[in-house]
Structure formats: C-alpha cells, structure tokens
Chains A and B, each alone.
Chain A
Amino acid sequence: MRLANIFQLGIKELRGLGRDPMLMVLIVYSFTVSIYTASTAMPETLNRAAIAIVDEDQSPVSSRIITAFYPPYFTVPKLISSHEMDRRMDAGQDTFALDIPPNFQRDLLAGRSPSIQLNVDATRMSQAFTGGSYIQSIVSGEVSEFLERERRATTVPVDLALRARFNPQLDKGWFGSVTNVISSITMLSIILTGAALIREREHGTIEHLLVMPVTPTEIMLSKIWSMGLVVLVATAVSLIVIVQGALKVPLNGSVALFLVGTALQLFATTSMGILLATVAGTMPQFGLLLVLILLPLQVLSGGTTPRESMPQIIQDIMLLAPNTHFVILAQSILFRGAGISVVWPQFLALIGIGGALFILALRRFRQFLR
C-alpha cells in the first residue's frame, strides 16, 4: 500500500466530482438551505398547540382558566360546545379539548373534588405528552391562585425551580440543526462513495485501474479520503456559517473535536457506501437499499426521538450503527461542552464500527472487481 497512490487517486475522485454541477448544487443545498429551513421550521417544543375549551361552568374560575392559554405555547382557545368537540377532534382541528363541567367552581369551593376532563389526541405523539402535562400545571396553577384569593391557602410552601441546562429555552432548532447536519453527512457520504462506485463500473473506468500497480485497498482508501474530505469540509462550513452564523446556535464545545469525530463517522459511512454498492450491483437496487438503510439511521439513532424510550432490543441493535454513537458524541461535544475524556467511548465505538465496515467492504470490493 502506497500513500502516494492513495493520494493521487483521491485527487482524481475530487476532479471527477467537480464535473457534475447538479450534484454540487445538491451538496451545497443539503448543507445550507436544507439545514436552515429544517431548523427554523421546528417549533419550540410546544408551539401553537391547538386547544379548544368547552366551558359549561361559565364561572370566574373557568374564565381564569380560559385566559391562561395563549400563544406561543397554545393557540388562543376556541370556545366550543360539548357536541362540537368530537367532530373537531376527529377532523384533527384540535389536539386538546378541555371540558370544564357545570358547577365546577361551586364544587371546588365545597371540597367535592370535581374533575375537569382533558381530551388529548394521542395520535399526535410529541404534543400529546408534553402538552398534557403543561395543561395540567397551568390549570392547577390557575385554580390555586384563585383559591388563594378566595381563602387562606392550605398548600405546602414548596417551589420547584426547574432549569434546563445547555439550552435554557429548550429551543428545538439548536439540536435540530445538528441532527440535520448529521443526516446530511450520512446521506451524502454513502451516496457519493456507493453510487460513484457503481457508476464507475457501469462506465468501465474501474477496470482500467486494475491493470495498474494499485491494490483494491488503495482504490478504496482513495475514495474514502476524498469523498470524506468533501463531506467534512461541507460539515465544517455548515456548522460555522449556518449553525453558528445564520441560526445563531451557541455551540459550547470544541468544533475541532467534533470534526475529528465527524471524520471517524465518515470513515464508517463511506465504507458502508462501498459495501452497499458491492451488495447492490445495479443502481436501482442501490437506490432501494439506500432507503432501507437511511431511514432507520435517521429515525432510530436518537436524533429524532430519545434513545432511552426505545425498546431495549432496538437500542442494542442500533449500537451497531455508527450514527447512534455520532449523535451521542455530537450532543456531548457541541451542547454539553464535553471533551475527549468524556466522549472517548464513542470515538472508540466509531473506530471499531468503521474498521469492521471497512474490512467487510474491502472483502466484498475485491470480489466485486472480478
């Protein structure tokens, strides 16, 4: 294996990429506009949640409750009648419907422990849970404030001071932007190496290389470093210009350390791209395999929903995917400001997964060239 060969062949790959303007446009788009749009589209966790209220009590306390819901967390509540409620929820117009029963205030003051009904559209997963508990605490707050004025409170004087660290406003766009960078990294690196390899074979240029004193390992490494470099540069630019610049996301940690982690991730994903290309053989099959691999990587790596809540078996399986470790690593470094002393297990995992993928890909690649 000679470094000079790897270097020379990599340069050739880079020049080749420069000749596909449409692809260049897509690369730039996926690391800039796409990330900006996706991050700004993300609501604060609970943003403009649609709520309707059936006020059958028409009392001071019920109007207190109604006025407690306002944007940006909630939409201004629609006041509806009880028979409208089902229809509106069926049509998906409301996520929440709060039903304040008749004589609520009277029963409350009489200590009869009345109950308010909160209907939640449970198909809207993300809002159902967070919104539900928000509404509970808002209603409780309003009721106790009302009671305090009505009579001496008999509550326990304990406050809960809740603070979120690393992202005090819980702005979803912060993490969302990084998640999107990660999915662009994965998508692009797999496609650039995999599809390019299939195209080279369809056009017969790969055969030409084989009569020269270069080994399959050199060919593969040259693709990995060159395409990896393209994605790495795109990532750095995207982080600095789009994430930190345009989106103004404060990155607590070291961008340099993150880029080292990205390089390891790219080692794994570019190897995966080559592996997929050797498995697929033709471009249409590669396209499908890509979907089948990208979707779980995107949805189950912990970037979209928390890993802790996935079933144990999925958590375990996903430990084999480089993205899972990369998402953890990105969170730790970029938001919690973690250093290598904290993220070394992820670095090790990426090296291990990347190495395994590389060896597997190299074996298949040798057969592929036959």
Chain B
Amino acid sequence: MTPPAPPGKEDAAAGTEEAGKKTADAVVRLEKVGLSYGATRAVREVTLTVPTGRMIGLIGPDGVGKSSLLSLVSGAHAVQQGRVEVLGGDMTDSGHRRRTCPRIAYMPQGLGKNLYPTLSVYENVDFFGRLFGQDKAERERRIGELLRGTGLDPFPDRPAGKLSGGMKQKLGLCCALIHDPDLLILDEPTTGVDPLSRRQFWQLIADIRRDRPGMSVIVATAYMEEAQGFDWLVAMDDGAILATGTPDELLQRTGTNNLDAAFVALLPEEKRRDYKKVDIPARQPGRDSDIAIEAEHLTMRFGSFTAVDDVSFRIPRGEIFGFLGSNGCGKTTTMKMLTGLLPASEGTARLFGHEVDPKDIEVRRRVGYMSQAFSLYSELTVRQNLDLHARLFRLDPEKIPARIEEMATHFGLTDIMETLPDALPLGVRQRLSLAVAMIHAPDILILDEPTSGVDPVARDAFWQILSDLSRKDNVTIFVSTHFMNEAELCDRISLMHAGKVLVSDTPAAIVEKRGAKTLEDAFIAYLEDAIGAKTAAATGPVPAPALPAPAGHVAARDRSFDLRRLLAYSRREALELARDPIRATLAILGSVILMFVIGYGINMDVQNLSFAVLDRDDTTISRDYIQQIAGSRYFTEKAPITDYADLDRRMGSGEITLAIEIPPGFGRDVERGHTTVQIGAWIDGSMPNRAETVRGYVQGMHQTWLTQKARELYGNAATIGDFQIAIRYRYNPGVESLIAIAPAVMPLLLMMIPAMLAVLSVVREKELGSIINFYVTPVTRFEFLLGKQLPYVVLAFLNFIMLTAFAVFAFKVPFTGSLPTLSLAALLYVFSATALGLLISSFMNSQIAAIFGTALITLIPAVQYSGMIDPVSSLQGAGAFIGHIYPTTYFITIARGTFSKGLGFAELRDSFLPLLLAGPIFLGLGAALLRKQAS
C-alpha cells in the first residue's frame, strides 16, 4: 500500500534548535501517561518514545485509548497524569503549547469532524490558513497547491457537508497541512472511506512525505492492512501498549504472516482464549427458491439527487448477503427502503413475498435492524434496553424475563446486565445491539456496518454468531460493511457505488471475474471503471503541496493576540450565518413584527372594563351617579345585579370587574345632605395592575360627580375651595401606548434575539465536535469568543437600524433626541447582549440547556426587572439588584430619553457607563469559563 518511506532524517523535524537537540530522535515522549473519563480508564500508565521523521502507526481496535492518546499529544485534551513531551516541550505548559500549536496538525476521528459542513471546500481550508495567520497571497498559493494535490480543485465551491467520505478526509488533510506542520496526527483517517479513496489517501500522504521528509506522521488505525506499510507500529489494547516495533519485527516476534493475526497473538492470554477463526459452513443447496428479501428496480430520489439508482436483488432465506461500499453510496438508504422506513421513489421491495408497506407495523416485527451508529439508549442499562425492546415488540410479558436470559447467555452479556452501555467496550456494545435486534426472534436481520471499529477478536466472535444464526436458525442476514475480510465471509455480496450496484455475486466469483488477486483489488477495479476518467487526475503525480516554512515564520505567529486569527473566526461565523439566511431573516423580520405586535398590544390605559350595579335606590340621583360611570369610555355596563349572590357569582366568573352598590335612600340622603351615605364598590383584585387602574378611575369619577352635584345643590358657594389639577402627560401627550412602549420593546428584542443568536455558537461546536479546532490551533480564548461575536454584533446592529426605522417611519413614533447617542448606546448594548449569549455558551455543554438558560436569563430580567413596565426604582429585593446591574435597564433609559424626551449624550451620560462595562465583563467571564483544552 504505502511505499516504504525513506528513513527519517534525524532532527529534520525537530524545528527549534535548543529543544530539538535535546530530543534529537524523539518527536513525542510519554512518561506514565494516564487518562480517565469519569470511572472509565482510557489510558493507563503509558510510557513511549516516538522517533522523529517517521510514519508511525497506532494500531488496535476502537476504544482502546488510541484517540485519547492522540488528543493528549495534539494538546486537544488536558494532561491528567504523567508527562507528555511533544516537539521538545512539556504539553502542560501553556506557553509551550502556544509555541508548538502551529507546528502540529491534528485531524480528529470521524468523517469531516473538524470541517464546517455549510462552508465550501475553499472556505474550509481558507479558514485554517487564517487561523495560522497567513496573508492572502500565501493562502491562495497554498490552497491552490493543496487542492490540486488532493484532486479537490474541480469543486472548490462545494459545501463540505456534501462531499463523499473520501473527499471529506482529503479536505481534512488539506486543512491540516495548510501550515506546514512538523507533526501530523491523523486519527483513523480512512475509517468509512471506500477502498479506492483509501488507496489515494495513502498515496497522497506518501507524496507529501517525499517532499517533506522531516515531517513526523502519527496515524491511528483499525485497518491492519494499512498499518503494514508504516515505518513503526505501536500496538495498543485496553489503554496500554502491547508492543512496539516495525511491522516486520512484530510479525517475526509473533510468528505470524499478517498483522491481524499478529495483533491477536499479542493480546493477553484471557482475551485470546475465546478466539477461534470464523468458520461458516456451506449453505445447504436447493433452498434458494424460498426468497426472503426481494428488491426490484428500487430507486430513491431526494430532489434532484438520486441516492439509490435502480437496485435489484433476490436473497433466499438463510443467506448471508453482504453490501459493500463507501459511506454515502446508498447502502443505508437501500436498507431503509427494505425496512419500510423510506418509501421508495420507484420500484418495489418485498419481504417474504409481501410488498413492504411503511404503514404496516407487522412487517417490522419480522425484521431485526441494527443501525450504523450505536443507537441504543445510553441512559438505560443492558437489561433495561433489552426489556424496553422486548416490550415494544410485544413479547408476552410473562416470557420476557426468560427471553432476556436466553439472549444474555447467547450473546455473552450475563455478567454485565446492570451496566450502562457507555461503560462497555465497543465490541460488547455491538453484541448488545445485535441482541436487541434479535430479541423478538426475527426472520430477517438487517445490519448496517455492525462491526466498524470493533477489534479483530470481537469481530470474529460476532461473525461466528451470525454464522450460527444463518445456518442453524435459518435467519436471513443482510449486512453492510466496508471491511474486505468480512465481505469474504458472506455467501454473496453486492458492490455498490454512487447509488448503483456494480456487481452482485459470490466473493470468489467476483475476484475471478476481474482476474484480481484479492477482493479489494477487484472492488477497486470496478470502482475505477465506474468513475472512469476522473480517477486519473486524483491518482496522478502530486505536486509538492507546500513549501517548508522558514523558521522565523513560526516565531512571528506566536502572539498572544492576533487580529487575523480573530477575524478568521468572524469570517467563518459570518459565512455560516450567510448560508442559513432563514436565521438572519427570522432575526430581523421577526423582531420588527414582534415590536409592532407588542407595542400595539401592551396598553396601560385600561378601557372597556365591565361593571354592573346593584341599585337599591333607583332614583334619578342614583341613576345619575351610575350614568357618570357608564358614560365614560373606561367602562361598559352589564345587566344590573340582582342580589349579593348574583354579585358573588358574576365577579367570581370574571364577568364583571367592578360592582357598585347604591344603598336604599341614597337620593334622599344626598338631597338632605345631613347623614353621610356610603356607596359600596368592589373591584376584582385578582389582577392587581388592572384593579389599581380601576380604583383610580372610580375615585376620580366619584370626585367629579361630587363637585358637580355640589355646584347643582349649593350653587356658587361651592366654588369656594374649587380647584383644578391640570395633568400634563409629558413626552407622550396623547398617552399612546405604542409611543411609550416601542422604545421599551426595542431593548427587549435587542437583548433576546442577539443573545439567542450567539448562544449556540460555542455550545454547538462542542456538541458537534468542531470545537477541536479551537483546542489545537493557536487561537486564544479571547480571539475565539470575540471573533465569533463580531458577526452577531453586526447582525444585531442591523436589526437595531431596522427596528428604529420601522418605529419612526411605519409606527410614527416621534424621535426627538440625538440619533448618534442612541446608535452608540445600541452598539454597546448589542455587544453586551451577544457577549451574554457567549458567556452562557461557554459553560453549557448541551444545546437544550443553553437555549433554556438563555430564555431564562434574558426574558425574565428584561421584561420584569428593567423598567419596561415597572420602573426599576420601585422594585425590591433581588429583582431590584438584577434591575440595577442588567444592561437593559440602561438602554431603556437611553431609548426613552432619545425617542421621547429629546435628550442627547450629555443628559444620558450616566447610563452609558454600565453599558460600556457590561460587554467586556460578560466576555471576560466567558473567556474565564471557556476551556482551551478538553478536560
């Protein structure tokens, strides 16, 4: 596979002089390094010296600590225990990490894990170039070379998310190589990639090493065939190192002829004990007439994209049928159509002669399905998982415990029944998945890459179980894989590429047909036929992807603040925003609509309140009193109250807000003027706000009535003592709510929406994995946060402009003060709002919690404590404290001042200081809470 690399030139990669001499022949030195995730021990006391300038393979199945070890070496994960020395310095020293970051490149596990799916090929590489502080000309030159070198140059504008697995990995490599690293760390770069792309990938690495012989490459892989071509191997199992040496040394030491066997031989005795070579007896002939699965011209289109193109096959009962192909070639889609998960665009699928109907739940009970990723519930124990599925498949509840025991024994799960799946090795988890898929004794098993990442021993054991199921229980097995040695175990296989089946036959017949040496060669030959001319370009001679960086260059990048790195993140975030126009539209249009609806809807001027009267007097004077109330625009009169019971009932149901009782003899007493009469009034106090307003109205009207009556009764004598209170509603003479509320709603919207926009930016990277780029590149916490923040500040400020324009021109809210003052305040304010979002984002780990936290932290303080409805000066307790420190309070003062009161900067100066401080404080806290390494 990989041509033997030239012997590493001593010291060529060690870079900086002094340190380089000390560790002349070691690029990485580990001393008693350990790492745990909670109770799980991932790496145990590893001591290792890795020679420089070589191609180093870290071999072993998934979950043995390879990735953990690499994340320690790359600096992505904080060192917990022991000493990690990389490129001549201690990785616990943050100064050394900052200096060496630009010399290390790390490509994490998972297809395109460090890529941004919505960004194009070019933009992805460009982002990394910017992170390493390269200028435009340099970036263009390097990106051009890298894309040409990897064969990605025909489609620089394609979004990374739409690339095939192999192309994603090549793009990941471009991103890793943009800064000429001295140490390249690749974590399972070819897992899930088709054999042709895999071969091209290693060719690419070999070419790069030819041009940069000093570069050390550390590769973790679970494919033993690949490791065969490496210079030096480290075999790992269960967090510890089993052996080190060249591939030949390992083979000699174990006396085996291939690395798979060598690895098994290196395993400790108790693991090896259960190992036996898979032995699948031949199928009994003559049973092929009983067809279990049948596909005829199955086609699946998603829009203009054809995922599966005219696929047909027939699988007899009891056969093991393999589906071979790279990620994204349509394997999973085909399987979904067979299970009825997806209705086919064209063609039919039949199970046992019955057409698959997605609505037919019964069919699912005859099928067991095991999906690609481990998709059982990690929050349930092994027993609970089995139990849940048994119940969902409607097994007789009485028989469930027995069936669970049976499955546990069969799949070797008896000792771990009460364990949570996360604590189990991958191989065991896959057995659990299979047990779950088999719990209801289905006739057909559909397995989507069941063994990816499972170690050879567990894999063989797994296949032995499949063999037994097929041969003994006559279960039909439909399995997809990208391991060639597994494909060879199948009765028949189909090679699939780009939605089409290339060939379908027994493995031996396929090899024979192509005249190839191995199944892999045959597969590659078919792939090359299918792809045709395109291949030539990609496998052609690769130009030198990059020039060695001058030493001085490295030092120049070592700065604690670099605007270019900051802007790299800004640009990335802005591009992502631009690719999702729905977000920006929602933010801007949504906020304008909200301002209108809320400004129009909130009204303190209570009107149309319902009231009713219990008039026990019923005279002209009492009716006059009632008329005084009924005639006002505030109240609407309802049918008279008949008695107290009626009053209670109607008030209780909320039908009336105000009840007035006029006592008998009211008219007479008023005319006589001797005894004081009392009118009773009851207000519904369940909504205190409204009740208070009602009280004010009633009292006012009562007073007016009294004055009028006095004048009628006593004539001019009553004018003595008469006076008026002239009320001037300042700043809003018409007391229109929209005018008063719009300037207060704007701060509310400019807090919630920018915070919600910004809050997911960090936590989303954490949840989806691209946060790793922040860990392993020289970008600082401050650059990272501020860089991410800038686009949101710009968007939020645009939002502010839109809101102001709408308020003034559409809603006719008069603007009387200084626009520059308001704009400056708005800028500071949206800066603090986005900073608040980032602060929440920096310490939350799940997007759900981040969204909920933001809603809590913005909605309640902004609506209730910031003076939008109740002035801050009248609040009490903790709410008052929050009101005094929350930025919305001050922006409301400024917005009202500039909108309604005609004020400028001089008068509002005092409110600026808190706004000025809020953003930097939030951002500083965010930086303090954000970790530069995983821990």
Contacts and interface: CB of A to CB of B under 8 A. Distances in A.
Interface of A: 2, 4-5, 8-9, 11-12, 15-16, 18-20, 22-23, 26, 29-30, 34, 37-38, 40-50, 75, 87, 89-92, 95, 104, 107-111, 113-130, 132-137, 139-140, 143-144, 147, 151, 153-168, 170-172, 174-175, 180, 183, 187-188, 191-192, 195-196, 199, 202, 204-205, 207-208, 210-215, 282-292, 294-296, 298-300, 304-306, 308-311, 314, 318, 328, 331-332, 335-338, 342, 370
B747 to A, nearest CB: 13
A335 B375 contact: no
Contact of B845 (A22, A154, A183): A22
Given A127-B871, A195-B851, 10 more contacts: A12-B388, A40-B877, A113-B722, A113-B724, A157-B673, A159-B679, A163-B683, A211-B369, A304-B863, A314-B600
A20 B849 CA distance: 8
Nearest to B590: A292
Nearest to A33: B878
B684 A166 contact: yes
Interface string B735-768: 1010011011000110011001101100010011
Nearest to A292: B590
Nearest to A184: B856
Contacts of B860: 34, 38, 180, 183
Contacts, number: 482
Interface in B685-701: 685-693, 695-700
Contacts of B756: 287-288, 290-291
Given A183-B859, A286-B851, A290-B756, A128 B604 contact: yes
Given A154-B718, A211-B369, A26 B874 contact: no
B598 interface: yes
B375 A207 contact: yes
Contacts of B652: 332, 336-338, 342
A122 B703 contact: no
Contacts of A113: 719, 722-724
B681 A160 contact: yes
A252 B731 CA distance: 42
A191 B846 CA distance: 13
Contacts of A299: 598, 601-602, 863
A106 to B, nearest CB: 12
Contacts of A153: 721
B873 A156 contact: no
Nearest to A134: B696
B844 A165 contact: no
Contact of A166 (B391, B686, B743, B900): B686
B606 A336 contact: no
A238 to B, nearest CB: 14
Nearest to A140: B703
B148 interface: no
Interface residues of B, number: 162
Contacts of A211: 339, 341, 364, 367, 369, 371, 446
A110 B722 CA distance: 10
B608 interface: yes
B805 interface: no
Interface in B360-384: 361-362, 364-365, 367, 369, 371, 373, 375-380, 384
A120 B590 contact: no
Given A167-B688, A175-B687, A211-B367, A34 B856 contact: yes
A121 B856 CA distance: 30
Contacts of A286: 851
B713 to A, nearest CB: 7
B685 A164 contact: yes
B556 interface: no
B847 interface: yes
Nearest to A167: B685
Interface stretch (B256-264, B561-569, B580-588): B580-588
B393 interface: yes
Contact of A191 (B361, B446, B580, B852): B852
A91 B446 CA distance: 73
B824 interface: no
Contacts of B743: 123
A295 B755 CA distance: 14
B717 interface: yes
B391 A8 contact: yes
15 contacts: A5-B392, A15-B384, A29-B856, A45-B688, A91-B910, A107-B723, A113-B723, A122-B732, A122-B740, A147-B721, A208-B376, A213-B394, A291-B756, A299-B601, A311-B600
B392 A214 contact: yes
A277 to B, nearest CB: 11
Contact of B730 (A22, A120, A195): A120
B681 A161 contact: yes
B601 A311 contact: yes
A306 B689 contact: yes
B721 A288 contact: no
